[in-house]
């Protein structure tokens, strides 16, 4: 049973309205936003509700940057790990709990052709609206696969031929040594704590992003961008 969710912000809503696989329930827009989104809204065959900025402010949490548009839609059906395309690279996230970081990673994954990101149910950020906003439309193209046990998920990926690469700033191998000669599963951990011990032990190899300055650690979404670009 899929639930209704609300997303906001121009980029996130444009991509959702263009996505023919999305079931749109309602569209709330200001007069100005309605003019900007006229073509996308008309394609949905749904009559939007023209509302004020204050109306949308009351709908959303404090300080939400909505740009005059909110779309209520159905969540996608949950995808299972057995449904992934094993010919493509994949990301796994170990305790990434910040919705903005997750959204940014989804945006980057979409830009580099990653279709699936595995996360654990226990550590999934709860604010899907903020995740969608931070992904700038990436959530329309990248599936979040929720698993109970990350270690078991890693084992399943290995059984299908994936090379499991963990990221750590203290690793000996540089990320440039990670070649895209076969399917790669990249695991990224929480900033500060990094990968959990058991997750680290399941990796085939640990890699680092070699930096030149005094700072050796990077924001996790920045690290994701560099890693996927290097592949």
DSSP string across 166-202: EE-TT-SEEGGG--TTS-EEEEEEBTTTBS-HHHHHH
Q: What is the mean pLDDT of residues 32-53?
A: 94
The CATH code of domain 4-74 reads: 3.30.1330.30
Superfamily of domain 81-230: SPOUT methyltransferase, trefoil knot domain (3.40.1280.10)
Mean pLDDT across 27-37: 96
Lowest mean pLDDT among 6-10, 12-16, 181-185: 181-185
Q: Name 123's Cβ contacts closer than 8 Å, sequence gap at least 6.
A: 93, 94, 95, 96, 97
Inter-residue contact 206 to 200 (CB < 8 Å): yes
High-pLDDT (> 90) share of the chain, %: 75
Q: How many CA atoms lie within 13 A of 22 on its CB side?
A: 29
Backbone angles phi, psi at 141, to 5 degrees: -120, -10
- Cβ 133 vs Cβ 154: under 8 Å: no
Mean pLDDT calculated for residue range 44-72: 92
Residue 62's pLDDT is: 72
Q: What is the mean pLDDT of residues 201-226?
A: 91
In the sheet with 24-29, reading across from the earlier edge strand, the strands are: 4-8, 69-74, 24-29, 49-50
Q: How far apart are CA 183 and CA 165, in angstroms?
A: 10
More confident residue, 192 or 167: 167
Residues 6+ apart with CB under 8 A from 50: 29, 30, 31, 34
pLDDT tens readout for residues 69-124: 999 999 998 999 999 998 999 999 999 989 999 999 999 999 999 999 999 988 88
The pTM assigned to this predicted structure is 0.93
């Amino acid at each position: 049973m899929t639930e209704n969710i609300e997303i906001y912000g121009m980029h996130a809503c444009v991509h959702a309205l263009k996505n023919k696989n999305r079931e749109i329930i309602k569209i709330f827009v200001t007069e100005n936003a309605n003019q900007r989104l006229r073509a996308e809204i008309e394609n949905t065959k749904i009559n939007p509700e023209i509302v004020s900025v204050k109306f949308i402010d009351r709908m959303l949490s404090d300080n939400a940057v909505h740009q005059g548009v909110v779309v209520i839609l159905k969540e996608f059906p949950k995808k299972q790990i057995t449904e992934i395309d094993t010919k493509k690279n994949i990301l796994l996230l170990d305790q990434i709990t910040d919705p903005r970081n997750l959204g940014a990673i989804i945006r980057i994954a979409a830009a580099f052709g990653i279709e699936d990101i595995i996360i654990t149910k226990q550590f999934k950020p709860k604010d899907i609206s903020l995740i969608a906003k931070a992904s700038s439309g990436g959530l329309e193209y990248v599936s979040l696969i929720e698993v109970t046990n990350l270690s078991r998920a890693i084992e399943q990926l290995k059984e299908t031929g994936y090379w499991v690469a963990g990221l750590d700033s203290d690793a000996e191998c540089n990320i440039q040594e990670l070649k895209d000669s076969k399917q790669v599963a990249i695991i990224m951990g929480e900033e500060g704590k990094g990968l959990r011990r058991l997750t680290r032990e399941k990796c085939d190899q640990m890699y680092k992003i070699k930096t030149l300055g005094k700072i050796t650690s990077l924001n996790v979404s920045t690290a994701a961008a560099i890693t996927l670009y290097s592949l």
